[in-house]
Amino acid sequence: MKKDGELSHEQYQSMRSTRAAPGKFYGLPKTHEKDNPLQPVISNCGTYNYNVAKFLTNLLSPYSKSDLSYVKDSFEFVEFIRNRQINNDEEMVSIDVESLFTNVSTNETIDIIIRDLYLDNKLKNVTKISENSMRKLLKICTQEAHFMFNNEFYEQITPLGPLFANWFLKDFELKFIGSNLATLGIRLWKRYADIFAIVEINASNNILKYLNCKHGAIKFTMCLAEQARLQFLDTTVISDQTRSHYYTDIYHKPTDTGLYLLYDSCVAKEYKFGTINALLHRAWKICSDYKQFDLEVNRIRKNFQALCYPEFAINKCVKNFVEKRIETNIQDTTNKRKDEVLITLPYIGDISNRLVKQLNKTVQEAGLNTTVRGVFKGVRKINNYFKLKDKTPKLLQSNVVYSIKCLDCDAEYVGKTTQHIDARIYQHKIVKGGQHGLAKSHITEHSQRLGHQIDWQHYSILARASNDYYLKIKETLLIKERTPLMNNNETSVVLQLF
């Protein structure tokens, strides 16, 4: 595709895979259900087709949204439904599609996507990817996926993702719903994962029968409003005949435990009180009036008091939040905003906070118009103690800093690679005097100069990182710490904060 001019160099580099690993199959327990059944999950991060799928999702997602039904999130839905007037001859229903991801054919959905994109030349000014190439890319992402479980490899038959599901339902709606809204008695049709609809009274049964006879692979189920209340996303829509418009409240599942971060947990306070602010923000956006908002705030207070948060701290969060929302005074914006530098740090208690304060003090003393903001990460996570996924075989690991030692002396080499570690070790072995277009390595030079044997079989992985820049930092730190003789004290990057 790159040779044919369909992909730019940047697109090619972002999509090609040089260090792929198999997908990982694991299960997450459904703690709110009886006997805690497992929810199967396949993690495709780092697989050979992951970057292709990521590229296609970014490229095609805008075209998968239906003008008829698309809802971005619960906040957008709430703003929309609040402006709708209540009529006496209508009722609310929610509609669900059973097992959409496993029942719909990927070939059928690919045909729908290709027809939608190329019949009207929607991608003409967006990409040069041809129809045939696009079809191949879509098949690579959905019909040629593999994963690993219990040290065995498997092929995933139909990994139909959200993009495909949205496109299939969009096509279904255009064919069978859009031109038949009035005939079916549908007055409103909004979809996120489930579907929220307002229909004429006594029309729901006929609508359900109509939907279930249009495609043999999918089945719809319907839930009617009870006591003029219906749940959709994390909202409860209420149809009160004493009001002229629909109003909304927050929906809490019966299994909701109110469990969030414990106050004495080893997590930065910004995250603890940020959780409270996030819940207050959701309540402010979703609750239709102050009475409902006040009830939700009291619920938040109760939940966090049970988690040992000081009452005065909770009240301060609520007070600051409400004051910011109702404040009418114009804020002074004349002060020049300082540049902000984000630094990721491990959180080990108040020491981490003091370090950030000391860094800001040092910056101010240096006269820099900059502030340092610490982004804290937990030192220990649950997955440090419970391994849910199969471990990637050592020879397939990538984005690592590694160590190779000499068998005849104490010399060591520390390097980094974004390739499979096994491929990088092989390159070290074959490079002799700059052959194969590669520079002569320090390891080869050490071996040839002294006649020593290298321990190729027992290389060790010292560190991992998510990208090449972080790898260079870790490699440099390890070289300074271990002073490996084969490196000649050469480092990858200059270490500096600013």
Q: How many residues does the chain have?
A: 498
What would the DSSP string read from start to end of 443-475?
A: HHHHHHHHTPPB--TT-EEEEE-SSHHHHHHHH
pLDDT tens digits, one per residue of 319-354: 999 988 877 544 544 455 568 888 888 888 889 989
What does the alpha-carbon distance between residue 462 and residue 465 come to, in Å, rounded to a whole number?
11
Beta strands across the sheet bearing 145-149? 38-43, 23-29, 145-149, 152-156
Q: Minimal CA–CA distance to 475: which of 392, 413, 428? A: 413
Cα distances from 442 to residues 11, 16, 368, 398, 404, in angstroms, run: 34, 29, 41, 21, 11
pLDDT surpasses 70 at 249? yes
pLDDT surpasses 60 at 106? yes
Q: Are 167 and 65 in contact (CB under 8 A)?
A: no
Q: Are 15 and 48 in contact (CB under 8 A)?
A: no
What would the DSSP string read from start to end of 346-395?
A: EE-SHHHHHHHHHHHHHHHHTT-SEEEEEEEEES--GGGT---SPPPPGG
Q: Which of 37-46, 76-85, 294-303, 406-415 has the lowest mean pLDDT?
A: 37-46
pLDDT tens digits, one per residue of 221-245: 999 999 889 999 999 999 877 778 8
Q: Are 471 and 465 in contact (CB under 8 A)?
A: yes
What does the alpha-carbon distance between residue 58 and residue 64 come to, in Å, rounded to a whole number?
11
Q: Which of 277-281, 318-322, 375-379 has the lowest mean pLDDT?
A: 375-379
What does the alpha-carbon distance between residue 390 and residue 146 come to, in Å, rounded to a whole number?
14
pLDDT at residue 329 in the model? 45
pLDDT at residue 393 in the model? 84
Which residue type does 449 have? R
The whole-number average pLDDT for the span 241-254 is 86
Average pLDDT, the chain: 86
Q: Which of 153-167, 198-212, 276-290 has the lowest mean pLDDT?
A: 153-167
pTM (2 decimals)? 0.78
